[in-house]
């Protein structure tokens, strides 16, 4: 028997097992396709010098909006003792606002449902993706009572009508954003509270969201980061082991065994904190904001801002027409990263419990020098093909995965409001028990429960790691929709 079926952990677990919500997944997919067809969505490339409302600031060359709002593209001078390259300069997105990424949830027919929004973003490779109920910047919600209201926003502005199941500050891409964070929120509405489902919104269970996470580019980055904050009840929380179909799939096993067998963890939690403390004192990161026009090796070619090697990323401009948004047409810069990125956790059974290989990783926009990251974050085209020795550790396992069993494999998109057609291959590879990997100092094994414990606190796991973890369902999923 569960100790408290209404605890957030139990509500989430029960919803994860719920493969059929108030509507079937098939109905959702049909609705989603129909919504895409009826929504006008056009994006044209435009030179950065020709973006309405945007200009290069005199003196600094920083790219800013005339209102001073949204975000700006500035320069960063980076010095670190981490990795092969110890000093460089680069453009960076400066958006010193804490936005809200929030799911409204409600128990419907006994199972927690998430109110998702079908949302167009200009950078999305496929236009429409599943987003949280609310994606609101601080500008959005401070002018909340003037102009067009962001739907459902009132549930996330405090007050005491809803129950906060998750409410955490979480980081965004440290390689692209300067110390950006968002508030990740899941609010539960009382069972009997009437919630109107507006056009473009749909109720899904966690089980259905996990099914969508097995597909390419359906569930957007903002949804994934919020979902990564969820912690599931385990056997130690009163859920009987027998009710979990531990034979039902890799991910289910990972969650269940991790919950049951804390004593089988390779490292105690205090030992992990000690390792992280050592990493934070070993590695240094010094960043200085510099004018964009003083960023060495980068230049504006009359159209985009690019690195002289053609690698890494460019800053490009777009003209956007989207029907179902507050503003129907606008111009903005987007970041276009080199294609072919791969984000991978290696995992392996230790003491009978699945452990994940976590990397302590310095990225220039990190709030606190380093965050924990997936085993491998790799875009091969950023490296010299004649120098495979310069690739990050374990890359060879990724490029030839015959030694491993593929446990998760899908293309997932990064935030389409800032990144243009940015999709990465998200992978979980399980190594056979016989393989004994030698670990560089900045790698350590931990269980999914240990990772989830760190995620409760600010700025411990980066968004790439969280986005990948969010894809691992605690329950056996139906074989097909």
Q: Which of 68, 146, 158, 385 binds a copy of itself (CB under 8 A)?
A: 158
By CB under 8 A, tell whether 161 contacts a copy of itself: no
3-state secondary structure of 414: coil
Determine if 69 is a binding residue for a copy of itself (CB under 8 A).
no
Choice between 77 and 319, CB closer to a copy of itself: 77
**In angstroms, what is the minimal distance from the CB of 316 to a copy of itself?**
31
Between CA 281 and CA 361 the distance in angstroms is 13
Q: Which of residues 87-126 bind a copy of itself (CB under 8 A)?
A: 98
- 222's enclosing H/E stretch is helix 221-227
By C-beta, is 36 or 267 nearer to a copy of itself? Answer: 267
Locate 308 and state its tokens. 């002289």
Shorter beta-carbon distance to a copy of itself: residue 182 or 223: 182
439 near a copy of itself, judged by CB under 8 A: no
CA 11/CA 232 separation, integer angstroms: 8
CB of 454 to a copy of itself, least distance (A): 8
Least distance from a copy of itself to the Cβ atom of residue 457, Å: 5
- Taking the least distance from each CB to a copy of itself, the nearer of 166 and 292 is 166
Tell me how far apart the alpha carbons of residues 370 and 358 are, in angstroms, rounded to a whole number: 12
Residue 98 CB, nearest approach to a copy of itself (Å): 5
Q: Does 456 bind a copy of itself (CB under 8 A)?
A: yes
- Angle (CA) 221-280-228 rounded to 5° is 20
Structure tokens that stand for 193 in this block: 């509270």
8-16 and 206-213 are packed helices; what angle lies between their axes, rounded to 10 degrees? 60
Closest CB 408 distance from a copy of itself, rounded Å: 27
Task: Tell the smallest beta-carbon distance from residue 296 to a copy of itself (Å).
Answer: 24
Do the beta carbons of residue 112 and residue 194 sit within 8 Å?
no
In angstroms, the CA 61 to CA 276 distance is 38
Task: Give Rg (Cα) of the chain.
Answer: 22
Q: Which of 367, 382, 401, 481 touches a copy of itself (CB under 8 A)?
A: 367
3-state per-residue secondary structure call for 374-389: CCEEECHHHCCCCCHH
CA distance 11 to 218: 24
Pick the closer one to a copy of itself by CB: 34 or 98. Answer: 98
DSSP state of 171: E
Q: State in angstroms the smallest separation of the CB of 34 from a copy of itself.
A: 37
Instruction: Identify residues 259-298 at the interface with a copy of itself (CB under 8 A).
Output: 270-271, 273-274, 277-278, 280-281
Can you tell me the distance from the alpha carbon of 473 to that of 209, in angstroms, rounded to the nearest whole number? 9
- Residue 344 or 370: which CB sits closer to a copy of itself? 370
- Residue 192 engages a copy of itself in binding (rule: CB under 8 A): no
H helices of 283-384, where? none
How many residues of this chain bind a copy of itself (CB under 8 A)? Answer: 25
Residues found near a copy of itself in the complex (CB under 8 A): 8, 98, 158, 164-169, 183, 270-271, 273-274, 277-278, 280-281, 367-368, 456-460
């Amino acid at each position: 028997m569960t100790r408290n079926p209404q605890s957030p952990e139990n509500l989430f677990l029960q919803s994860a097992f719920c493969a059929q919500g108030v509507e079937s997944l098939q109905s959702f997919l049909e609705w989603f396709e129909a919504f895409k067809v009826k929504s006008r969505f056009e994006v044209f490339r435009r030179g950065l010098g020709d973006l309405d409302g945007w200009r290069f600031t005199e003196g600094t060359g920083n790219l800013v909006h005339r209102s001073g709002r949204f975000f700006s593209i500035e320069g960063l001078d980076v010095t670190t003792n981490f990795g092969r390259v110890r000093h460089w300069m680069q453009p960076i997105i400066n958006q010193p606002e804490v936005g809200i990424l929030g799911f409204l949830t409600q128990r419907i027919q006994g199972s927690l449902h998430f109110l998702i929004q079908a949302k167009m973003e200009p950078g999305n490779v496929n236009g429409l993706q599943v987003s949280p109920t609310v994606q609101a910047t601080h500008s959005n919600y401070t002018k909340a009572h003037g102009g067009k209201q962001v739907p459902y926003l009132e549930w996330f502005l405090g007050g005491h009508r809803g129950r906060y199941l998750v409410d955490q500050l979480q980081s965004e891409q440290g390689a692209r954003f300067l110390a950006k964070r968002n508030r990740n929120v899941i609010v539960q509405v009382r069972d009997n509270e009437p919630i109107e489902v507006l056009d473009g919104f749909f109720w899904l269970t966690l089980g259905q969201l996990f099914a969508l996470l097995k597909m390419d580019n359906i569930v957007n980055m903002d949804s994934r980061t919020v979902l990564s904050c969820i912690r599931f009840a385990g056997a130690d929380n009163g859920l009987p082991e027998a009710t979990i179909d531990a034979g039902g799939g890799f991910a289910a096993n990972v969650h269940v065994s991790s919950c049951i067998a804390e004593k089988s963890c390779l490292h105690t939690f205090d030992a992990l904190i000690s390792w992280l403390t050592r990493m934070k004192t070993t590695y240094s990161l010094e960043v200085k904001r510099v004018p964009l026009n003083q960023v060495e090796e980068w230049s504006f070619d009359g159209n985009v801002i690019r690195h002289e090697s053609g690698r890494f990323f460019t800053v490009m401009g777009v003209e956007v027409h989207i029907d179902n948004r507050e503003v129907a047409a606008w111009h903005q810069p987007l970041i276009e990263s080199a294609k072919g990125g791969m984000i991978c956790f290696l995992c392996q059974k230790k003491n009978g419990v699945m452990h994940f290989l976590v990397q302590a990783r310095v990225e220039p926009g990190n709030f606190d020098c380093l965050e924990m990251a997936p085993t491998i974050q790799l875009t091969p085209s950023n490296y010299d093909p004649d120098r495979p020795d310069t690739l990050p550790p374990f890359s060879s396992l990724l490029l030839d995965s015959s030694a491993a069993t593929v446990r998760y494999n899908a293309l997932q998109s990064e935030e389409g409001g800032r990144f243009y057609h940015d999709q990465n291959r998200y992978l979980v590879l399980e190594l056979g028990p016989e393989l004994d990997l030698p670990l560089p100092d900045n790698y350590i094994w931990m269980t999914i429960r240990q990772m989830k414990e760190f995620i409760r606190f600010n700025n411990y796991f980066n968004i790439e790691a969280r986005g990948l973890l969010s894809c691992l369902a605690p329950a056996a999923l139906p074989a097909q929709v």
